[in-house]
A = this chain, B = another copy of it.
Amino acid sequence: MARILILGGGGMIGQKLAFHLAETGWNGQPAELTLHDLGFPPDGAPAAQRITGSLAEDGAAARLVATRPDVIFHLAAIVSGEAEQDFDKGWQVNMFATWALLTALRAEHEASGGQYRPRVVFSSSIAVFGAPFPDRIGDEFLTAPLTSYGAQKACCELMVSDVSRKGVIDGISIRLPTICVRPGRPNKAASGFFSGIIREPLNRQDAVLPVPDTVRHWHASPRSAVGFLTRAGSMDISALGARRSLNMPGLSCTVAEQIEALRDVAGAAAVARIRPVPDEAIMSIVAGWPQDFETRRAAELGFVAENDFGEIIRTYIADDMPSG
């Protein structure tokens, strides 16, 4: 029995990860899941325990790790837009709560006489990077975030690495591409349109495109994200050496290429539902985002993502598209 704690276990990726682990288990053993989040969807993933609350509450981290889970997935965060609007909340939730988690893990490590040293998978983001960029961002490119969210993620990566170096945890930070196609309703994230222009037409709804179709970005499907997390949680990471922050693979494509893939899968009527409504604010945010990566280290370590955008669309249809 592998005891697995998912922080942010009520979110889109957390739920998909939980469903996956409940079904497939963990390294040949059943997975006993504890999910923690502010709330959970109805008909959510099965779990031995669902705990409702914020990791930023006093004592929350210590209570959560008191059972010494074997693996901890830390996906809890407030999103980029909210962290930008509420500076204090962003730093408290996205950075200081991670510090509290690491501090609680250190207390358990010490209480166990150094025996307890869990795998911790920290969900980071390509938001740790900021323009200007080379054509392809390599594994040795600097982290110069242009948002508070990115700065908070970058700080957490440094902490996860340092606590790991001290032997307290066996941590890894994986920098996720933009996850596309996100299921569900449109949200207000500046990146929302990358999913919206595919999801809405497939569901016979209109979609708005706020940027030129020449915009290039870095994508991976939710299914790939679950694959990254389970791989990061179970692989031997000694090959990482001291550099425990890893750019995840993805697919670099333009909005025009996304739209062509939609046409291939769903026809011209679907494409006709995409309405260009230029939005200067979104254009300016997106201009600071990474467009392409060369993820050599991740490839060597066996992380894989989609090879073309059609595959990403078909994954959405298979995994998430509402029937009918």
Tell me the A residues contacting B by CB distance below 8 Å.
87, 91, 99, 106, 130, 134, 139-146, 148, 151, 154-155, 158-159, 161-162, 165-166, 242-243, 245
Contact = CB atoms under 8 A, between A and B. Distances in A.
A274 to B, nearest CB: 32
B148 A154 contact: no
Nearest to A243: B144
Contact of A242 (B146, B158, B245): B146
Identical subunits present: 2
Contacts of A161: 144-145, 151
Contacts of A242: 130, 144, 146
B162 A158 contact: no
Contacts of A245: 144
A132 to B, nearest CB: 9
A142 B128 CA distance: 11
23 contacts: A87-B166, A91-B99, A130-B243, A134-B140, A139-B142, A140-B141, A141-B142, A142-B142, A143-B143, A143-B158, A144-B161, A144-B243, A144-B245, A145-B158, A145-B161, A145-B162, A146-B165, A146-B242, A148-B162, A151-B159, A154-B158, A155-B155, A155-B158
A274 B139 CA distance: 41
Contact of A151 (B144, B146, B151, B158): B158
Contacts of A151: 158-159, 161-162
A155 B162 CA distance: 11
Contacts of A165: 146
Nearest to A140: B142
